[in-house]
Amino acid sequence: MFKDPFQRLGLDREVLTVSQLNQRARHLLEDVFPQVWVEGEISNLAKPASGHLYFTLKDSQAQVRCALFRQNAAKVRQALRDGLAVKVRGKVSLFEGRGDYQLIADAVEPAGDGALRLAFEALKEKLAAEGLFDAGAKRPLPVHPQRIGIVSSPTGAVIRDIISVFRRRAPQVELTLVPTAVQGREATAQIVRAIERADAQGFDALILARGGGSLEDLWCFNEEAVARAVAACRTPIVSAVGHETDVSIADFVADVRAPTPSAAAELLAPDSSNLRQRLESLQRRLVLRMQQQIAHHHLRIEGLARRLRHPGERLRQQAQRLDDLEMRLQRALDRQLSTRRERFARLETRLAAQHPGRALSLLRQRLDSLAARLPRAMQEGLKERRLQLQSQVQTLNVVSPLATLGRGYSILLDERGQAIRNAAQTRPGQRLKARLGEGELDVRVEDNHLTPVTLSLLD
C-alpha cells in the first residue's frame, strides 16, 4: 500500500529535479481539488489562434490564472470579456513548464444570474450583431402626436397611470388600448399579434407597457419573437417594461426606452407650460452663451496683442541662441578630443602589457599546475561517485514498493489495474486482485461498510 504523497516528499535523502517536483505538485493539487467552483472577475483575457482561452480570475485581494481549452470554450454561450463577473468550474492544477499554479476550467457561468440571464445575454449579443440595436435605425418620436396606441394588459395600474398622465398633460390626444397578455405562456404570441395590429392602424406612436416584476415575470419581453416584432414595427414605439431598474430585450430594440409606463406617457405628452418654460430657459442660456463668447474673444484678442513682438527682437534672440549653440559645440568637440586621447593612451599601455612572451610564460606555468592537479582530481571524483552510488542504492531499497510488499503488505487492484485507495472505490460483489510480495490472489468484496444496514425493530 502506497504512503500518503505528503509523506513521500519528506525523505531526507531524496533529491528531486525541477520536473519531478512540478509533476508531484501537479498530481497533489489535482488529487485534492479535482473539481471546484470559483467566483471572480475576468482580466487579461487572451484568445490565441488555437481556440483556447486564457485569463486571470481575480477579486479584491487575490487572483489565479485560468485556462479554458477549445472544446470547453465552445460550450460557453456568453462572450467573455475583461471585467465580467463569472463563476468558473474546474480542477486546480499546475503548468509544469513554468511552474505556474492555475485553474483548468471546464464551465463558465455568469455570476449570480443563472440560466435566464445567460439566455438574455446570448439573445442580446445575437440581435446586436444583426444591427437591431443600432441608433441609426431608431425613429424619432412625434412632437405633437394626435393618436397613441397602447399595447398592454387591459387590467392593472399601468393603463390607468398612462391615461392619468395624458388627461393631465395632453387631454386632446386620442388613446387606443390594444389588449394583450403580458405574462405567462401565451403572452409572447399575443404581444406579437398586438404589435402587428397596432402598427396597421396608423397611430402616431405606440407604447409597449407592463408593470414591474421578477425576471421570470418579464421574460416574454425578452423573447426573440417579441424583439423582432418591435424591430419590424413601422410606427415609432416606446418600451416601458417594468420599473426603472428592469431592462428587457424589447427596451434595446424599441425606438425609445422609458423607465416606467408613466414616463413613457410623459415623453409623448409634453404640456404647454413646460414648453414655455423650456423656451424661456433656452433663451436665457442663449443670451448667456453669447455674452460668454464675446468675452472669450475679447480676452483672446488681448492675449494675441500682448504676444505680438517686433521682428528685430526675434532676430536678436535667434542670434544669441546661435552663439550659445556654437560655444556648446566647441566645448563638446574639445571634450571628445580629450576623451579620445586618454583612451588611446590606455590602449597603448594595455597593448604593451599583452606581449606574447609574457602570455606564453603564464600559460606554461598554468599547464604545469593543471598536469599536477589532474591525477588527484580523478581519484577524488571516483571516490565521490562510489559514495553517491552506495547512497542511492540504500535510498532505492528504502522507497521500493517491493520491499513494502515483502514486509507483509498487499496492493488491491480493480478490473482496470487501478490501485484501490479507499472503500468508496469498491462495491459489494466486486472482484479484485491482491498483489503480494510473492504472487497474486483473486478476492471478492463482501461488504465495503458504506451502505447503511437496516435492522428490524421486532428482532
Closest CA to 231 of 268, 260, 192: 192
Q: What is the pTM of this model?
A: 0.40
Looking at residue 208, its pLDDT comes to 94
- Per-residue pLDDT at 169 exceeds 60: yes
Indicate the pLDDT class of residue 459, thresholds 50, 70 and 90: very low
Strands (DSSP E) contained in 111-258 are: 147-152, 174-179, 205-210, 237-241, 256-257
Span 2-18, mean pLDDT? Answer: 61
287-310 pLDDT tens trace: 999 999 998 888 888 888 777 766
Looking at residue 13, its pLDDT comes to 63
Phi, psi dihedrals of residue 47, rounded to the nearest 5°: -125, 80
Integer Cα distance of 86 and 77 in angstroms = 13
- Per-residue pLDDT at 157 exceeds 50: yes
Looking at residue 306, its pLDDT comes to 74
Looking at residue 2, its pLDDT comes to 40
Q: Tell me the range of 1-10, 134-143, 304-313 where mean pLDDT is highest.
A: 134-143
8 Å CB contact between 15 and 396: no
**For 323, how many CA atoms within 13 A lie in the half-sphere containing its CB?**
5
- Per-residue pLDDT at 55 exceeds 50: yes
Looking at residue 67, its pLDDT comes to 92
Looking at residue 378, its pLDDT comes to 87
Indicate the pLDDT class of residue 209, thresholds 50, 70 and 90: very high
8 Å CB contact between 248 and 239: yes
Indicate the pLDDT class of residue 105, thresholds 50, 70 and 90: very high
Long-range CB contacts for residues 152-158, cutoff 8 Å, separation at least 24: 152/177, 152/178, 152/179, 152/180, 152/182, 152/207, 152/208, 152/209, 152/210, 152/261, 153/179, 153/180, 153/181, 153/182, 153/210, 154/179, 156/211, 157/211, 158/209, 158/210, 158/211, 158/261
Span 72-76, mean pLDDT? Answer: 84
Looking at residue 8, its pLDDT comes to 55
Indicate the pLDDT class of residue 152, thresholds 50, 70 and 90: very high
Domain residue ranges of the chain, discontinuous segments joined by +: 18-110, 116-270
- Per-residue pLDDT at 3 exceeds 60: no
Integer Cα distance of 104 and 49 in angstroms = 19
8 Å CB contact between 168 and 174: no
Span 1-11, mean pLDDT? Answer: 49
- Class of CATH domain 18-110: mainly beta
What is the torsion angle, in degrees rounded to the nearest 10, for the CA atoms of residue 22, residue 24, residue 25 and residue 28? 160
> Which of the following CATH numbers is that of domain 116-270: 3.30.450.90, 3.40.718.10, 2.60.40.1220, 3.40.50.261?
3.40.50.261
- Per-residue pLDDT at 326 exceeds 60: yes
Indicate the pLDDT class of residue 61, thresholds 50, 70 and 90: confident
Q: Is 59 helix (H, G, I), strand (E, B) or coil?
A: coil
